[in-house]
Amino acid sequence: MVDVILGLQWGDEGKGKIVDYFASQYDVIARFQGGPNAGHTLYIGDKKVVLHQIPSGIFHADKINLIGNGVVLDVVTLKKECEAVAAFGCEYKKNLFISERTHLILPTHRALDKASEQSKGNDKIGSTLKGIGPAYMDKTGRNGLRVGDLLRKDFRNEYDKLRSKHQQLLDNFDFQEDISQWESDFFEALEFLKGLNIVNGEYFINEQISQGKRILAEGAQGSMLDVDFGTFPFVTSSNTISAGVCSGLGIAPQKIKEVIGITKAYCTRVGSGPFPTELMDATGAYLRNTGNEFGSTTGRPRRCGWIDLVALRFACMINGITQIVMTKADILDALAELKVCTSYRIDGQETASIPFQMNHLNIEAVYQTFAGWNTSSAQMTSIEDMPVEMKKYIDFINQYLGVSIQYISNGPGRDQLVSA
C-alpha cells in the first residue's frame, strides 16, 4: 500500500514537517521527483534541519528512505546532507537507498542553468540555479548519466562526451565562469556515493509492497509548479502531482491509496510567474515576516498572498486528493480580517477554473471576507480548542474544495499538529 504526500500550491507548504510526523506510521519513505531545489524543513528538538534530497523520514532509525528514479541527484549536496544528518546520530548508510536509474546533475548542468537564466534578462523563470532543468532536459533528450552508470568502466569517457556537448552550449551563451572547483567537488562526491546503497529502485520498492510494508511517497515543490499542469512556463521541470509517483518510483497506479495534500492557510510563491492573490501591501509583508517566508534553499523572500481556492480546487482535482493538511494557521492569528479567493475575474467575466496561460491574462482575484480569530492558536491541542472564527474559515474551505482538512499545523514544532 502506497500513500502520497505532496504540495498543493507553489511549494514551500511545510511538507517536511508533515512527512516527518506521518513517517512513524510507514516502513518506507520515498522521494519520487525533483532535485536539490526542494527544501524540506524539520525541527529536531530546537534545531532546524533543511533536507534537499534525502527523504524526510531519515530521522526515524527504523525507516527505509529511498531516493527514486524520478529525482535528479546533486551528489555534492547529497554528501553534505548525509554529513549533516550524521551529526544528529543518523546512520544513513543503513537506511538510505538510491535508485540506480536516478539521473545525475553534472557541474555543467549548473553552469547551463545559470547561463540560460542570465540570458533571459527580465524574463527570468526564477530558477534556483541548481542545474535541475538542464538535467531533466538531458534525461528526456536521452543524454543523461545515471547513478547506475557509476559502475561502468567507461563512466569517465561518457562524462567527458556529455561535458563536451554542454561546453558547446555554454560557448553559445558566452559563459566564462570557471567551474573547475565544481567538478572537483563532483568527482569527490561520486566516490562518496559509491559507498551508499545503490539499488534497482523499482524492484526494491515493489518487493517492499509485496511484503505488506507501508510506503509513503514524498513529493517536492508543489502542484502549481507541475511541468504539465502548473503555471507554465514558470514551473519546475518534473511532474509534481500524484501521477509522478508511478513514473518516479516504478509502481502501478492501483497501489496508491491515500493522497494527502498540503496547503498553507495562505499562499506563497518564490520566483517569477503569475500569482493572482499576491499582496504587495502591509498584510503581505506581515505574512512574510511573521511566517518567516524566505526560501529554505535560496533564502529569497517569498511572495505572499491570500489563499487561492480556485488553484487549490484545481490541484485537488488533478491529484485525486483524499485529505488535506493545512499548515501555518497560526500565522493568521493576529489578523482582524481574512480573505479567500473564490473566483477569478478575467476581461469582465468570472470563472472558477484555471485558465490555459495565466501569465498572458490580467487576472483579478474575487474574494470572500472572513473575520479573524484574534487569538493565539499555537497552544491548540484539539479541535475543541479551535476558535469559532477559525472553524468558520476551515468549514468554508472544506465545502468549497469538496475535500476535508484533516490536520491543522499551528506552529513549527513536531507536536504542533491538531487533528480536525
Catalytic residues: 12, 40
CB 103 within 8 A of CB 135: yes
Torsion angle in degrees (nearest 10) through CA of 237, 234, 401, 25: 30
Q: What is the DSSP letter of 131?
A: S
CA distances 175 to 166, 167, 198, 263, Å, are 11, 9, 34, 39
What residues pair up with 307 in beta bridges, in sequence order? 340
Q: Are 39 and 130 in contact (CB under 8 A)?
A: no
Q: Which of 72, 193, 77 is nearest to 138 (CA)?
A: 72
CA 28 and chain centroid, separation: 18
Identify residue 20 by its one-letter amino acid code: D
Do residues 201 and 100 make contact, with C-beta atoms less than 8 angstroms apart? yes
CA distances from 72 to 35, 128, 225, 231, 394 (A): 5, 14, 16, 21, 37
For 356-402, the DSSP string reads S-GGGS-EEEEEEEEE---S--TT--SGGGS-HHHHHHHHHHHHHHT
Which grid coordinates belong to 216? 509513503
Alpha-carbon Rg for the chain, nearest whole angstrom, is 21
Q: How many CB atoms lie within 10 A of CB 214?
A: 15
SS3 at position 61 = coil
